[in-house]
Amino acid sequence: MTNAQLDTPVLILGGGVAGLAAAVDLARRGVAATLIEREPRLGGRASQFCCKATEACARCGACRLGELLAQAAQLPQITIYTAALAVAAQPQNDGWQVDLAPQPGGEIGPGAGRPLRERTTLNTQAVILAVGGGAFNPAGKTRFGHGRVQGVFSALELEAMLSQGALGPDGLAPAKVAFIQCVGSRDASLGRLWCSRVCCGYALRMGRVIRKLLPDSEVTFFHMDVQDYGRAWEDELPLMRHQMRFVRAMPGEVTAGDGGPQVTYALAGEQAQKEGFDLVVLSVGLGPPNGASALGELFGAAKDDDGFLTADGGPAGVFVAGAAAGPRSLNESIVHAGLAASAAAVRVASLTEARHG
């Protein structure tokens, strides 16, 4: 069967905030782009995030996805295909020839583009890899009981519950909540030595939301240390220390207790103690994209020492945006996508000038 043929100045892989931000940035520069997303819907992991504003905006970035979707829908320079996967790629002339294959599902809606319905060969001058990072599977840290102990959830699962207006499983209102940091980060036993950077911010913001909605609840934050998450951090941290209990100790294990999960931990110089909670939340770290190796094979993209994608040392015309290049918040991913879009636009302009010069 003959593939459909398309041409585009820039191809963007990934329909999360980084991919959408890169497409919007390019369109505003007058550069057309085609964005493909392998899932049926756009948004990526950000589509699960809830607004964490309490008295004022918490600058979590959750609202940015809706803004980007609306902007992308209004810009004619952007073509979007959902349920589409790049299955082959090869350098050609001054660009790339990429084969796309349709995937199951695909929805049509405001800002959602349209599903890819047939095998398609796309010729492009630049490729932006904006496929996001991979969240650590908390079941890989067995001592914390995820999937085995009732009441233990990942932070991403709590995000999804909060976005639906729930504060716990089955709509329960937990009186005691524990956040355990660095699950799948800074862990030599797992070979994951990097700090995921965003975990402290999203855990503390969710803790504030819980305290706002349930003023009588107790929130405990187990941590190695606390990472600065950006503007106003110095002003907000003292208030959060007043609202929540900070415990500088990494728990040894989480087991089933009489009324919920039970956390075992030891403070410096003290014996181990056990404490029961209604809800234990594991702040899972961000790692390299799940398809990093496949993308490396397709586009010759290089990887850094931790396995994240990088444009350094890779082939011409391939750029990386957002959390695919390393742990980043939503806002940071959008900024980073702008840098990738700028580099891609410069390449397109240079190739166009050379052809017509």
- DSSP state letters, 112-124: --EE--S-EEEEE
- If pLDDT is split at 50, 70 and 90, which confidence band does 108 have? low
Please give the average per-residue pLDDT across 138-145, as a whole number. Answer: 94
Task: List, in sequence order, every residue forming a beta bridge with 222; answer none if it has no partner.
Answer: 180, 247
On average, the pLDDT of the chain sits at: 90
Q: What is the CATH number of domain 136-285?
A: 3.50.50.60
* CATH architecture of the domain covering 4-133+288-356: 3-Layer(bba) Sandwich (3.50)
- If pLDDT is split at 50, 70 and 90, which confidence band does 62 have? confident
Cβ pair 52, 142 in contact under 8 A: no
Task: List, in sequence order, every residue forming a beta bridge with 335; answer none if it has no partner.
Answer: none
What does the pLDDT read at residue 239? 84
Start and end residues for every CATH 3.50.50.60 domain found in the chain: 4-133+288-356, 136-285
- If pLDDT is split at 50, 70 and 90, which confidence band does 305 have? very high
Cβ pair 255, 276 in contact under 8 A: no
- If pLDDT is split at 50, 70 and 90, which confidence band does 233 have? low
What does the pLDDT read at residue 232? 63
- Rounded Cα distance between 23 and 35, Å, is 7
Indicate if the pLDDT at residue 274 is higher than 80: yes
Cβ pair 217, 107 in contact under 8 A: no
Please give the average per-residue pLDDT across 102-115, as a whole number. Answer: 71
The residue type at 101: A
What does the pLDDT read at residue 112? 61
Per-residue pLDDT of 168-218, as tens digits, reads 666 678 999 999 999 999 999 999 999 998 899 889 989 998 999 899 999
Residue 296: is it exposed, middle or buried by C-beta count within 10 angstroms (0-12/13-18/19+)? middle
What does the pLDDT read at residue 278? 95
- Rounded Cα distance between 357 and 352, Å, is 8
What does the pLDDT read at residue 55? 77
Q: Return the SS3 of 343.
A: helix
What does the pLDDT read at residue 21? 98
- If pLDDT is split at 50, 70 and 90, which confidence band does 129 have? very high
Q: Which residue has the higher pLDDT, 160 or 325?
A: 325
Measured in whole angstroms, the distance separating CA 327 from the mean position of its chain's CA atoms is 8
What does the pLDDT read at residue 229? 65
What does the pLDDT read at residue 231? 64
Indicate if the pLDDT at residue 111 is higher than 70: no
